[in-house]
Structure formats: C-alpha cells, structure tokens
Amino acid sequence: MVINTIKKGYKQTEIGVIPDDWDTDQFINIVDKYIDYRGRTPKKIGMEWGKGNILALSANNVQMGKIDCSKEAYFGSDELYKKWMVQGTCEKDDVLLTMEAPLGNVAQIPDNKKYILSQRVILIKPKGLTKNFLAKLLAGSHFQKELLNNATGTTAQGIQRHKLDKIEICFPKSVKEQNAIANVLTDIDSLIEKLEKLIEKKKMIKQGAMQELLTGRRRLPGFSDKWKMRKLGEITETGSGGTPLTSVSEYYGGDISWVSITDMTNVRKYLFNTERYLTNKGFTNSAAKMFPKGTVLYAMYASLGECCIATKAVCTSQAILGIRPKKILNNQFLYYYLTFIKERVKTMGQQGTQSNLNSGMVKSFEILLPQIEEQILIITILSDMDLGIERLEDHLDKYHAIKQGTMQALLTGKIRLLTK
C-alpha cells in the first residue's frame, strides 16, 4: 500500500512538493522581455569609451545582490548609449543575470539612471512575477543548481539562452505573497549589508592603528627608547619546504601536517589544521622541513604576502617560507608587520608566469624594532581589534546561513507568510 505523505494544501510537481496555490512553468514563460547583448560589446577603444559617465554593466560589475563599480569598469557617452541600447532601456529594479564568467550572479538596477549593457550579462523584465521576487528566485538554491546542471564549459562555465528558457521554476500566483517573500529576504540582505559595512569599518580602523603602532609614529605610554632598523634575516631563522610527488599515494594520508597556500588563505591569524597530511615516507622523500609551533608561515608564490602562525609543528610546500624569530622579535609582532606591508610586497615580486618572492628578498625586508616589552603591548592592542572583527565575521557567517535556510523555505512554499 502506498501512503500519501504530502500534507494537505500541497501538491507534487516535477520540481518537488509546492503549495496548491503555487504554479510551475518554464522560465521563458515568465519573461516579458530580455535585453541581451551577450557575445557582443561596444569596442573598448576609440571614441566609444571613456568620454562619458554612463556605466557599462558587465559580468565584472554584476555581483550577487549588488552592482560593484570597484571592479574594472567602463563608461560610455550619450552617443554610445543611443547607438547601442536599441533593444530597450534599463529601468529601476530590472533584474540582471550573468550568463558566464561568472555564471549566476543576480542583481537589480538600483535607480533610474542610464546604463549600457555589456557582454555576458542579460537584463530580464518579468511578467506574472514582481521584479523583486524574481531577483530572489534567481538567487535561490533551486535556480542556481539548475543553472549549473545546464551549464557548459570547464574553465569558464556559461549557459545558453535556449537552456535557460527551459529551466522549470515554481512561484506563488499571488503578487501579495511574492512581495511578502521578497520583503523578508530583502530585510535579511539589509542586515547582512550593515554588518559587512561595520566589519569593513573596523578593518580600516585596525589598518590605521597598524600604520601608527608598527612604524613608531605613535608611542605607547612609558616607552621612549629609539626603535632600531633591522633586516629580517638578521633577527630570524628561515627555511622553505617541499612537495612530495603527488603521484605516489603512499606519500600522503599520514599524520604530518603539510601546509599549502590554500590552507593559508582559508585561515585568519592562526593555522590549526591542514587539508593534506604526509606519511613519514612522504616527508623523507621530499625537501619538506619541519617547523616548530609558533613559526610564522609566509607565502612567496601565488597569494603573495599571506601569512599566519602555526599552532603546531608543520611542514610546508616550497611556496611557503617558515620564519622563526629570535628572542628580540615576538612572532605575533612579526605577523602584524608582514600583514601591514602585504600590499607593498605584492609589487615587489619577480615577474614570470606569476609574481613570486624568494627567501633572499624576504630576508632583506627592513623592520623597525621596538623593545620586546613594547612589542607585546602593541600586539595586545591589535589582537583585541582582531577579536572584535572575528566576532563580527562569525555573526556574519550565521546570518548567511540563516538567509540560505530562509530562502530555501520561502521559495519552495515550505514556510508560508500571512498576506491577508
């Protein structure tokens, strides 16, 4: 005997169980108009660009939930706008979708200004759905999953229009319920945006504090000794690592922590765990060296200037320099100093297929060094700032998790909102 487990007021559809008063359809059937210049873009040379202030919306600028002009942006003139935007104009709240590189970013036109649509982005004017609800629907997990399922390409995934048109979606027929869902999700987005701005503000304050404290520009009460300029190689011991052959499986899967650049970019100040571990055989059959707990790990390739402090004995790839300070230099003070100069260091790398440093270049770094007691007080101030930022970032992670769960429940009708 088959037991019907669908609760009253819901129905089974091809894309899952949804409320009785919701509907499903192919995406093309809720589109009133596409504006699509994908595969074409105005020439970025000559008179067409740079002589006006009308922003071109490319895939670089359309981020998830917002338009970001801090990325590489092009601006055009009224002449270019009239010549190019022959398919129609952008209006406030129209929905933008990136079709490739990256695939699936969703944002809305924020105002009634003029915009020029560029390649890899399409603009969607819906019918039967409100613009705000459509934006939330496209950012939801079901639609994003369907985009990936229908995507082509390896290095840069994209979706063809005819495949996009056939994606099945579900939605409430009631405009009131669409608006209610969109409003709840917009409120969550607003909370996340405020928290992101607060975190950014705290990081800027910390950067200013490092500028003052790590250069001796601002001295702490009770200290007046002159700081001494020292080369890093004089006050530290350094060594780089190695990578066992990845083709030899018995070199990996042991209990020796092996640090890669990826491990470093996924942590904050301290590194606790690594993605890969070496066996004794893998360690002895490579150039890897063991670094003790407290070693400052410094990226010389790829993510140039990234650094962290090992909380246990580790070995590393050759892309990472292990730096062990002598008694006159605290390892946390060194960490903050290397973090402070990271942007400057990025310009120093040797140019090749990627920008790199070498151990000799790092040893030649000059650092203004206060007495160890003053170093410790500076560390205390900066660590307290880090702790405040980390707490806010943890809250942000929780808000993102709440948003994802709420979106999933609201966009499938599992949770209904009172709209009467």
CATH of 173-226+371-420, one of 1.20.210.10, 3.10.450.50, 3.40.50.720, 1.10.287.1120: 1.10.287.1120
| pLDDT of 301 strictly over 60 | yes
User: Vertex 89, ends 84 and 91: CA angle to 5°?
Assistant: 150
CB 210 within 8 Å of CB 382: yes
* Residues 231, 359: Cα–Cα separation, whole Å: 13
More confident residue, 6 or 103: 103
Domain 228-369 has CATH 3.90.220.20: yes
Q: In CATH terms, are 173-226+371-420 and 228-369 the same topology?
A: no
Q: What is the mean pLDDT of residues 74-85?
A: 87
**Across residues 11-38, what is the average pLDDT?**
94
pLDDT digits (tens, 9 = 90+) for 351-381: 554 568 889 999 999 999 999 999 999 999 9
User: From CA 99, how far away is CA 107, in angstroms rounded?
Assistant: 13
Please tell me whether the peptide bond between 292 and the residue prior to it is cis, using omega within 30 degrees of 0. no
Q: What's 23-171's CATH class? A: alpha beta
170-209: pLDDT as tens digits: 999 999 999 999 999 999 999 999 999 999 999 999 999 9
Q: What pLDDT score does 48 carry? A: 64
pLDDT, tens digit, for every residue of 207-224? 999 999 999 999 999 999
The pLDDT value recorded for residue 1 is 42
Backbone phi and psi for residue 210, each to the nearest 5 degrees, phi listed first = -65, -40
Q: State the average pLDDT over residues 89-109.
A: 95
The stretch 46-69 carries a mean pLDDT of 82
Q: What was the pLDDT predicted at 333?
A: 98
Pairing of strands 75-76, 49-57: antiparallel
Question: What is the token pair recorded at 324?
Answer: 């062990």
Buried b (16+ CB within 10 A) or exposed e, 32-70: eebbbbbeebbeeeeebbeebebbbbbbbbbbebebeee
123-141 pLDDT, tens digit per residue, is 999 999 999 999 999 999 9
How much is the average pLDDT of 380-409?
96
Which of 61-70, 261-270, 350-359, 399-408 is the least confident region? 350-359
Domain boundaries, the chain: 23-171, 173-226+371-420, 228-369
Q: CA nearest 352: which of 302, 317, 318, 305? A: 302
| 265-286 mean pLDDT | 94
Q: How many CB atoms lie within 10 A of CB 401?
A: 10
Confidence of residue 350 (pLDDT cuts 50, 70, 90): low
Per-residue pLDDT, 2: 45
Helix (H, G, I), strand (E, B) or coil at 347: coil
Mean pLDDT of 283-298: 95
